[in-house]
Amino acid sequence: MEFLIQKSERSPLFRYCGLAVLLLACLGCVSCGSQVIKGRTPLISISGMSMVEENLSADFSVSNQNGIPMTITSIDITVVVNDVELTRHNSDFKLTIDANSIEDVHVEKLPDDFTRSLLASLDSGELKSLPFDLQGKVITVEEGTLRFAHKGYLYPVPGKPGYYRSAVTQARDLRREEPY
The full length of the chain comes to 180
Angle 65-69-73 from CA coordinates, rounded to 5°:
95
Q: Does domain 43-176 have CATH number 3.30.1600?
A: no
pLDDT recorded at residue 155:
95
Rounded distance between C-alpha atoms, residue 35 and residue 125, angstroms: 48
Nearest to 57, CA basis, from 69, 66, 70, 47: 47
DSSP state of 90: E
Q: What is d(CA 61, CA 134) in angstroms, rounded to the nearest whole number?
A: 12
104's enclosing H/E stretch is strand 102-109
* Mean pLDDT of successive 10-residue stretches along the chain, which has 180 residues: 52 63 63 72 92 92 93 95 89 94 93 90 93 95 92 94 87 50
pLDDT of residue 98: 95
Backbone φ, ψ for residue 23 (5° rounding): -65, -45
pLDDT at residue number 54: 86
Query: Are the CB atoms for 103 and 95 separated by under 8 Å?
Result: yes
Q: b/e map of 13-27 (b: 16 or more CB within 10 Å)?
A: eeeeeeeeeeeeeee
Q: Which pTM value belongs to this model? A: 0.73
The strand pair at 102-109 and 55-63 is best described as: antiparallel
> What local confidence, expressed as pLDDT, does residue 32 receive?
57
- In 3D space, the residue among 137, 133, 174, 173 whose CA is nearest the CA of residue 154 turns out to be 133
